[in-house]
Structure 1
Amino acid sequence: MSQPAKAEFDKPLSADPQTTSLSDASLEDQVLLLLARLMEGGQEDEDTCKDLNTLTRLLSEEENIKISGDKKPLFQLLDADGVETILDYLDMRQSPTVRGHATLTISAYLKAADQLGVDYLTSFFHSRVSKGTYDDLILAFSVAASLFPVVPSVMAKLFLNDGFIVSLGPLMKRKWKSKKVEQATLEMLNAACIDTACREAVQKYCTEWLEEVVSEPFSSKDMDNVLSSSPGGTAPINPGSVQQRMHCEQVRNLAAVILAKLQAVTSAPSAESEERVQPATTSIEDLSDLFKSMMSTEADQDQHNAIEGLAYSSLKPKVKESLASDHQFLVSLIKTLAAAAAKSPTTYGALSILMNLTAYMPALSEEQKRLTQLKAYANASKDSLKPDPLNDDEHVAKRCQAVFEAGVIPVLVTHSQHGSVASLTLVVSIVSSLSKSPKIRGQMAQQGAVKLLLHAYSVFPESNIPARRTTAHALARILISTNPLHVFGGTTPLSLVSAIRPLIMLLEDDPTVEQRDLLPVFESLLALTNLASTDDSARNPIIRLAWQQIEELLLSNNKMVTRATVELICNLMQSPEGVAKFADGGKQASQRMHILLALADAEDFATRRAAGGALASLTEWDTAVNAILERERGVSILLALCREDEEELRHRGVVCVLNIMTAPGKVGEWGVQKVRDQDGVEALKECLKKSRSQEVLEITVEAVKLLMANQGGKKEITNG
C-alpha cells in the first residue's frame, strides 16, 4: 500500500488516527483522517466500510458546502496516492461489501474532481498494466470491472487503447497462468460488454479463448495448488500441459456469461466484425442449459453468474421457449427472486429474465412495419426479415401463463414495496404482459396486482411518462375483467377513487410517441365504465376529473373508442352530476344532447344501445326531456329505437318515449303531442308486434294507452 504524501498528512491531528473523533475535526481534517486510516489498512471490513461511507458523503455533499477563504475543495485533498488508496479497495480479493462501498467512494470523487480524477485513474491503470505482475494485473482489471458501470466512456477509452486488448494474448495463449488473473480478466471483459465498441472488440479478439474456457471442463484439483501467484509476475507453463488446460469452475461460468452477452446483444454488421478470430461454436441454447444447471448450486457467485447469463440468453426466442416450458426452473427462479435482497443484482437479473419471457412484441403501424423491413434489408440477410414465430402473441401468451402458474404475482407484490425504481419498472412490465390474458386477470387481482400497480403509479415520478402509462394500462386491463366491489370493497384498504387518475391519464395523448395508440384509450374507457357501474362515489370523480376528455373522445373517428365512450356516459347518467351535463338548460348541455341523440341513430348496434341507455336515464328528468323535445329529430330518433329488430334497443326506446309523455306539467303535454305528431302510435304498435319480453310489452301498452287517452278515445290494442 502506498504511503500518504507528507505534505498533506504531517499535521498534528492526533497521535493515533484510529481514536480521533471526526466530529471534532474540520471538513479538511476529516478527509485527511479518513485517508490516513484507509492507507494504514488492517481494519475490520465493517470499519473500512464506515470510513469509505463517510468519505463518500463528504465528497458528495461538497457542492452544498461553502468553503471559505483560501481552503481548497475537499477532492483536491486526494492526490495520486490518495486516489490509489481508494482504488486498492476495488481489488477482487477484497470482500464484495468493501468493493461496493469503495465503488461509491471513487464514483463520488470522480464526479467532484472531473478531469483531474480521470487523469489520476488513467495514470493508475496504465502504470499497473505496464508493470505486468500478477498483483498489478489483478488490481488493474478489478478496477476496470468496478468502474465500467460508473464511468463507461472513460473506461472504454482505456480498454480500446491501441494494443491493450491484444496485449491480453499471452493470457489467452496460456504462456503464463494465474487463476486470479484469469478471473479478473473475465470480470473486466464482462463489465466491458456494457459498451458497444468494447463488446465488439471482445467478440473480435477473445471469442476463441472464451469458447475454449467454456468447453474445457474444470479439473477436480484445486487450481491454487497447481499454480500460485509469482512475485515476479510470470510463471511459465509448458505448452500443452494439464496445468495449462485447467480452469476453475467460477472462471468457466464467467466466460459463459460473456459469451451469452456476445451472442444475445448483436451489433450492426461491419467490415471489421467479419475479422473475428473464430465464429462462436457454443450455441446460446447450450449456454442457457449451463446456466440452468448453475442455478441449482448453493454458491452465491454461481447463482449470480447464472442469473446474469440467463438475463441475456433469454433475449433469444428459443431460449425463452425452453425456460418457460420448464416449470421446475420457473419455480426455482421465482424462489430465488423471493429470497433475494430488494436492491440487488440478483433481483434485477431475475426480473429481467421474467420480463424477457413475458414481453410481447410491440404493435407496429403499417408505416412502422415498412420502415422496419427497410432497415432489415439494409442490415441483414433475407432470412432475418421474417419475425421469429416464437415471438408471436400466441407463444408469448403461453409463456405468460406458465410464469403466472409458477406463482410470480405474490413475489412481485412483495418486491414492489421495497425495490428500486429500475426494478419496479421491470415488475410493472411483467404484470402488464400478464394482464393481457383475460382469463387470469381476476386471479391477478386476488393476489394483489391492483395494489402493486397503484403503489407503482404513486412511486414513479410524473416525468417518467412511459412507466406511468404502462402501469395505468395494466391496471385498466385488470379492472375491465374484475368486479370493482371485490377489488375495492369489504376490508380492503384500497380506495376505488385511487384507480381513477391512472385510468384518466390514458385518455390523454402520449407526448412520448409520434403516433397515438388508441388501445390504451379504449381499455381505459372500459375500466372506467366498470368502475362507474358501482355508485356515485366513483361516478362523480370521473365526471369532475375526466369530462373534457370524455367529450372529445365521444367524437372520435374510431368506432370502438366512440362506443366505449358512450357506454361510459350511459353509466355516468346514473349520477345527478352526470345528468346535469345534459340537462342544466344551458347551451353546452343542449349541444351534448344533440350529439347523444345522433349516436342513438349510429350504424353501430352497441353504440345505439349505449346511447339509448343513457337517454333512458336522462328522460327521467324533465329538463332533459325538454332538451330532447327542442331537437327537431329528437322524438323521431327515439321512436326509431322502438322499431328496431333487437329487443334491447326497443326496450330503451319505449322507456324513453314513456318518460317523455309522463314528464310533469307542460313538458309532458308537449311530449305527448310530439310523439303523436311523429306517428308514435304506429311505432309503438310495431314494437308490440316484435317484442316478446313481458317488461317491454307492459311498458309499450302503457305508452299506447297514454297516447290513446290523449286522443279522446280508446282503440283495441293487440300484440300482432
Structure 2
Amino acid sequence: MSSEKAVDDVDAGLNAILKKTQDKSWTTLLPDELQLLLASFLPSHHVAIRSKSYVVLSAFCQHIRQNSPQPKPAAAEGSDPSTEAIVNVYGPSLISKLGDTVELEVLSGLTFFAALFQTDWPSAAAILLQDGVVNILEDIPDLFTSNPSPPVFLALAHLLAQAAGHKSCRTVISPQAVSWLEGKARQKDDDTLKAAAAVALIKFNKGSSADAASNPLSAASSNPPTGNAGGGDEDLVTLMKGLVLDASAPSPSSPIQDAVEGLAYMSADPNFKELLCSDEKFLSRLFAIIPRRKNLWSESSGDMGMTPLYGTVLIITNLCAYRPRLTEEETQIAKLRRLAKASGGTDSAKASNVTEENKFDNNEHVLTRGRKLIEAGVMDALTSAVKATESRAVRLAVGRALLSLIEDNSSRGKILQSGGAKALITIIQGILTSARSAADSSKSKTIPQLETADLEPIQALAKLAITASPVQVFGPDAGTLYDAIRPFSLMLTHPSATLLQQFEATMALTNLSSTSPEASEKIARSDGLLNRVELLMLEDHTLARRAAVELVCNLIVGSDDVFEKYGGSSGESAKRKLQVLVALCDVDDLPTRRAASGAVATIAASPTACQHLLDLQKERSRVLPILGQLIDPSIVPPSDEGESGVEDVHGDEDTTQMPTEPGLVHRGVMCIRNLFFGIKEDKEGSRLLAKEAEKLGIVKALARTFREHSSDRNSPVLRPAAEALKCMMESGITIQM
C-alpha cells in the first residue's frame, strides 16, 4: 500500500504543478514541487508517471517562455530571458544532484537532465555549458564502480546521446566521454547500456561530420571526431541490427528503443540503406515492433522522445525516400558543392565516397528498396502504425513513407489492396481536424492553413486517385469521395505547394469531377480553387497547364456555376475567360487542345457565350480561324497585322501544319455548329461570320468532313456538320458538295 500511496502522491503533485502552469500570474516552483519534478523521471517510476512528467515539464517551460520578456534586438547571443529564467529555476538544484555521491540523487539528476533536453533543449544546453558541469559528468563513471553496470551509467549514456544531438553541446563533449561510450558500446554484459552508448556515439559522429561539412575551413584546422567514425559506423549498425533481431517485445527497459533510435539515424546514410534492406529477417523483425493495436508503449512518450513505434516508421521512411527533386538552380549548386568537397579532400577516397553514396540513393536503387519493403510486409506495418497511435509525428512519417512507395506505379495496386488509401485518409482527417481546432482556438475567420509537411500524405492520396478508379481508392461511399475534395483543394491552393503537388492535386480533382455533377459542384465551390486553376491554365509547364484545362472542362460540364462564369453570363469577366479557352484551342499540346475545344463546344450551347465569341471575332478576327483549324489544320489563324487578316489566309492550299485528329475535328464541328445556332437571331452577325468562314475555308472543310462521314450514319460528326452547313446556307453562302 505504501508504494501505491507514493505513486498517488507523485501523481497528485504533478497534477498540482500542471494546474498552476495555466495561471499566467504564477512564476516559479516551490522547493517541494521542484524536488518532486526532478525525481519524477526516475526509471523506478511507472511509465505513466514519467509520461505525465514530460507533459508537466513541457508545460512549465512553455509557461515561462510565454510570460518572459522578449529579448531586445541588440541583446547578446544566448541572452534569451526565458532561457535564463528556466536555467535559474532548475540549474542550481540539478547541478547539485549531479555532483552528489548518492546514486539515487545522481540518477534523478541525469534522468531529469535528459528529459529537459527533450522538452526545452536551449535551457538544457545552457546548463551543460556552465563552468564545471561537463567535468561533473566526466567524474560520474569513477564514482560508481562497485556495480559493473549501475542504472547511472545508462542514464549518463542517454544524457550524452541527447547532448550529442546539438552542435553547441558536441563541442564540449570530451574525448574522455567518447572513450567511455566506446567502451560501453563494446561490453557484452548489458545490451541496454550497449545500445544507449552506441546511439550516443552515432549522434556524436554524425553531428560532428555535419559540423565539419558545414564549416570546411574550421574542419581543416581541427581534429577529426574521435570514436567509431568511418568504417566503425558499420559495426554500430551491425550491433543495432543484432539487438533488434535478439530483443524481446518492446518495453521501457529493453534495448530495442535505443537500437531503433540508432538505426533511425544511420538509415539516412545511403550505404546503410542497402545493408538494412538486404536482410529480410531483419525487416520482418523490425516491422513486428509496430503494435497491431493501441497500447501504452506506443503512446507513452508522445512526441517527446523517439519511441520504438516512431523510430521504426522513421527507418522505413528513410529506406524508401527518394532524393528531393531539385530545381535547375539547386541542381547546379549541389554539383558545385560536390566538386568542392571532392577537391578539398586529401585523397581520392572522399570523391569516390560521394559518388558511391549518390549511386545508392539514385532512383533505381530506391525503387528496388521500395519493392523489397513491400514484399517483406511493410504495408501491414504502416497501416498498423496509423491505427496504433494518433501521434502527429508518427502519422506524418507514415504519410511520407507511403508517398515514396506510391512513386512506383507497379506497387500501387498492392498498396491499395493493403489498405494504403484508408491509412492516408485517416492521416488526412487527423490533419484537417487539428487545423480546424487551431483555427477555432485563434478565432480566425480565414481558411485553416496546413503546414508544408501536411501536404505529403495528401499528395500520396492524390497519386492513387490519379491512377486508380475512385471506387478503388475511396470505396463505394460517395461521402468519402466528397471528403477528399477538401484536402486536394487545400494542397492545390497552398502557398508552399510545389508545381508537382499542384499538378497532382489538379489531376486528382479532375478524376473526382468526372464521377458526378455533385462532385463537380463541390469542387467548384472550394475556396480559391478556380483562381488557382486559372493561373495554372497560363503556366508554361505543359502538363500543369493541360491538367488545369482538363479540370476546367469537366467543371464546365458538371457545374452550373462554372458554366455561367465561362460564358453563360453576360459581362467582360465571362468574355475574357472564354477568350482564354479559345486561345488554348491553338496550343501545340494535343490533349490541351482537346480539353479546351471541348469546353468551348459546351459553353457555345449558351446564346450569351456565342455573343461573346462573335464580339471576340469582331475585335481580333481570331475565333473563327482557331476553331476552323480544329477541323482543317491548313486553316491558319491570321497574324495580328492589318485590320482583319482574313484575306491573307490561304484556305484552299494544302499546307497542313499538323495531322487531322478525329477528336479535334468533332469538337471543331460542334464549336462552329453551336456558334452559328447561338447567333441565329442576329442576322447581321450571322452573315458576317458566314462570309468570314467562307473566306477562311471553313465552309469547304465542313463540306469535306460531311462527305467523308456520309457513309456512316452513326458518325457523331455527320449531323452537326450538316446543321452547320445549313446555317451557312441560311446566311447566304453557296455550298458546293
Is 1:88–2:39 an aligned residue pair? yes
Contact 1:118 1:154 in 2 (8 A): yes
Contact 1:285 1:318 in 2 (8 A): no
Structure 2 letter corresponding to 1:458 = L
Residues 1:324 and 1:148: Cα distance change in structure 2 (over 3 Å) = same
Structure 1 position 402, deviation (Å): 3.0
Is 1:508–2:493 an aligned residue pair? yes
Structure 1 position 527, deviation (Å): 1.2
TM-score using structure 2 length: 0.76
1:447-503 CA deviation, whole Å, 9 max, x = no partner?
A: 11452343143134245421332233223222111212443452x374333222222
Contact 1:205 1:277 in 2 (8 A): no
Structure 1 position 599, deviation (Å): 1.0
1:581-640 CA deviation, whole Å, 9 max, x = no partner?
A: 222122211111211111111222222121112122223333333332333232222111
Partners of 2:155 and 2:331 lie apart in 1 by 44
The residue that corresponds to 1:364 in the other structure is 326
Partners of 1:143 and 1:425 lie apart in 2 by 29
Is 1:521–2:502 an aligned residue pair? yes
Aligned CA-pair RMSD:
3.6
Structure 1 position 661, deviation (Å): 4.1
Structure 1 position 662, deviation (Å): 4.5
- Is the deviation greater in 362-371 or in 703-712? 703-712
Partners of 2:232 and 2:290 lie apart in 1 by 27
Partners of 2:534 and 2:724 lie apart in 1 by 36
Partners of 1:166 and 1:59 lie apart in 2 by 32
The residue that corresponds to 1:298 in the other structure is 248
SS of 2:557's equivalent in the other structure is coil
Structure 1 position 360, deviation (Å): 2.1
Is 1:563–2:546 an aligned residue pair? yes
Structure 2 letter corresponding to 1:268 = D
Residues 1:570 and 1:95: Cα distance change in structure 2 (over 3 Å) = closer
The residue that corresponds to 1:397 in the other structure is 367
Structure 1 position 200, deviation (Å): 4.4
Equivalent runs, 1:564-643 vs 2, <5 Å = 564-575=547-558, 576-581=560-565, 582-632=567-617, 633-643=622-632
Residues 1:497 and 1:66: Cα distance change in structure 2 (over 3 Å) = closer
SS of 2:681's equivalent in the other structure is helix
SS of 1:338's equivalent in the other structure is coil
Partners of 1:689 and 1:551 lie apart in 2 by 39
Partners of 1:152 and 1:439 lie apart in 2 by 44
Contact 1:597 1:611 in 2 (8 A): yes
Q: How many residues are treated as equivalent by the alignment?
A: 634
The residue that corresponds to 1:263 in the other structure is 205
Equivalent runs, 1:130-529 vs 2, <5 Å = 130-166=99-135, 176-178=145-147, 179-180=149-150, 181-202=152-173, 204-216=175-187, 218=188, 247-265=189-207, 266-269=209-212, 270=218, 274=223, 276-277=225-226, 280=229, 283-296=232-245, 297-298=247-248, 300=251, 301-339=254-292, 341-344=297-300, 345-372=307-334, 381=345, 383=351, 386=355, 388-409=358-379, 411-416=381-386, 418-446=389-417, 447=419, 448-461=422-435, 462-488=448-474, 490=476, 492=477, 494-508=479-493, 510=495, 517-529=498-510
1:197-231 CA deviation, whole Å, 9 max, x = no partner?
A: 33344474433333333334x2xxxxxxxxxxxxx
- Is the deviation greater in 554-563 or in 281-290? 281-290
Contact 2:290 2:309 in 1 (8 A): yes
> Any unmatched runs of 5+ in structure 2?
65-81, 213-217, 301-306, 436-447, 634-658
Contact 1:687 1:700 in 2 (8 A): no
Contact 1:214 1:252 in 2 (8 A): yes
Contact 2:61 2:86 in 1 (8 A): yes
Partners of 2:460 and 2:62 lie apart in 1 by 38
Residues 1:158 and 1:273: Cα distance change in structure 2 (over 3 Å) = farther
Structure 1 letter corresponding to 2:518 = S
Contact 1:373 1:385 in 2 (8 A): no
SS of 2:43's equivalent in the other structure is coil
Contact 1:622 1:667 in 2 (8 A): no
The residue that corresponds to 2:533 in the other structure is 550
- Is the deviation greater in 178-187 or in 155-164? 155-164
Residues 1:616 and 1:66: Cα distance change in structure 2 (over 3 Å) = closer
> Any unmatched runs of 5+ in structure 1?
1-41, 68-72, 219-246
Structure 2 letter corresponding to 1:57 = N
Partners of 1:712 and 1:627 lie apart in 2 by 23
Partners of 2:50 and 2:200 lie apart in 1 by 21
Is 1:58–2:16 an aligned residue pair? yes
Structure 1 position 275, deviation (Å): 5.9
Contact 1:294 1:303 in 2 (8 A): yes
The residue that corresponds to 1:43 in the other structure is 2
Partners of 2:662 and 2:86 lie apart in 1 by 79
TM-score using structure 1 length: 0.78
Structure 1 position 165, deviation (Å): 3.9
Residues 1:353 and 1:556: Cα distance change in structure 2 (over 3 Å) = same
Structure 1 position 337, deviation (Å): 1.1
SS of 1:274's equivalent in the other structure is coil
Structure 1 position 715, deviation (Å): 7.2
The residue that corresponds to 2:722 in the other structure is 702
Contact 1:377 1:385 in 2 (8 A): no
Contact 2:165 2:204 in 1 (8 A): no
Structure 1 position 537, deviation (Å): 0.7
Structure 1 letter corresponding to 2:665 = R
Contact 1:59 1:75 in 2 (8 A): no
Between the aligned residues of both structures, percent identity stands at 26
Contact 1:642 1:654 in 2 (8 A): yes
Structure 1 position 317, deviation (Å): 0.9
Residues 1:591 and 1:352: Cα distance change in structure 2 (over 3 Å) = same
The residue that corresponds to 1:15 in the other structure is none
Structure 1 position 538, deviation (Å): 1.3
Is 1:533–2:517 an aligned residue pair? no
Structure 1 position 533, deviation (Å): 1.2
Partners of 1:660 and 1:109 lie apart in 2 by 71
Structure 2 letter corresponding to 1:505 = L
Partners of 1:66 and 1:713 lie apart in 2 by 86
The residue that corresponds to 2:643 in the other structure is none
- Is the deviation greater in 702-711 or in 321-330? 702-711
Structure 2 letter corresponding to 1:259 = L
Structure 1 position 696, deviation (Å): 5.5
Contact 1:563 1:607 in 2 (8 A): yes
Structure 1 position 642, deviation (Å): 0.4
Partners of 2:21 and 2:138 lie apart in 1 by 44
Structure 2 letter corresponding to 1:536 = P
Residues 1:664 and 1:328: Cα distance change in structure 2 (over 3 Å) = farther
Residues 1:667 and 1:524: Cα distance change in structure 2 (over 3 Å) = farther
The residue that corresponds to 2:666 in the other structure is 651
Structure 1 letter corresponding to 2:309 = T
Partners of 2:401 and 2:434 lie apart in 1 by 16
Partners of 2:143 and 2:24 lie apart in 1 by 55
Contact 2:125 2:163 in 1 (8 A): yes
- Is the deviation greater in 105-114 or in 205-214? 105-114
- Is the deviation greater in 251-260 or in 311-320? 251-260
Contact 1:445 1:487 in 2 (8 A): yes
Contact 1:203 1:262 in 2 (8 A): no
Structure 1 position 169, deviation (Å): 5.5
SS of 2:257's equivalent in the other structure is helix
Residues 1:464 and 1:264: Cα distance change in structure 2 (over 3 Å) = farther
The residue that corresponds to 2:700 in the other structure is 682
Partners of 1:171 and 1:55 lie apart in 2 by 30
- Is the deviation greater in 313-322 or in 410-419? 410-419
- Is the deviation greater in 537-546 or in 659-668? 659-668
